[in-house]
Amino acid sequence: MPDDSPNILAFGDSLVAGYGLGRSEGFAPQLEAALRARGVAATVINAGLSGNTAGGGSVRLKWVLDRLPEPPDLAIVAFGGNDILRGIPARETREDMETILRILGDRGIGTVLAGMLAPPFLGEGYRREFDAIFPELARDYGACFYPFFLAGVAGNPKLNQYDRVHPNAAGVARMVKGILPVVTKALSASRSTRATTI
């Protein structure tokens, strides 16, 4: 693979999959366009699946990786929203997220972990336990961390679809703008690490 053509795996739920959006409006195509506009000829692979929980992601990750022609240079992992909606205990979400990060780490794939935040109405105890999952696992597994995948988008009706849950095209653009510096830095670090081990 040419040095200037990295592959990035976007692995997550409907926020990654592009629920309710046109083909070019979802997270993966918008991130790919943003990277290419900055001179990074990346291909962003959309491995989002609407409705997926962290548990669902942990089950299908090996299947996804095994069907790629080559390992990605970087994986962006974004789960948690459906865990919140389904009331899955935070400890289970933590275990499932840990499984995902362990699989990627075992395969030497650098990772950006996009955090999710629980809404206040679920109670302070759950909120505190859930919100701690992502920064703690990013630290433990050496992943680059983006604190909140929906930063600047959640709760803004102008940036969300009619369901007030899924971002519209403008909302996705805001998500991409926020996470782009983290992705760029992580991609550079990941590819440098790989180059020194080949």
| pLDDT(1) > 50 | no
Q: Are strands 7-12 and 74-78 parallel, antiparallel or unpaired?
A: parallel
Q: What is the CA radius of gyration of the chain?
A: 16
In the chain, where the domains are located: 7-197
CATH 3.50.50.60 fits 7-197, yes or no: no
Burial environment of residue 166 by CB neighbours within 10 A (0 to 12, 13 to 18, 19 or more): buried
Cα–Cα distance between 106 and 77 in angstroms, integer?
15
Whole-number pLDDT of residue 136: 98
pTM (2 decimals)?
Answer: 0.94
pLDDT-derived band at 112, boundaries 50, 70, 90? very high
Query: For the segment 56-96, what is each residue's pLDDT rounded down to a tens digit?
Result: 999 999 999 999 999 999 999 999 999 999 999 999 999 99
Residues 20 and 161: beta-carbon distance below 8 Å? yes
pLDDT in tens, 163-179: 999 999 999 999 999 99
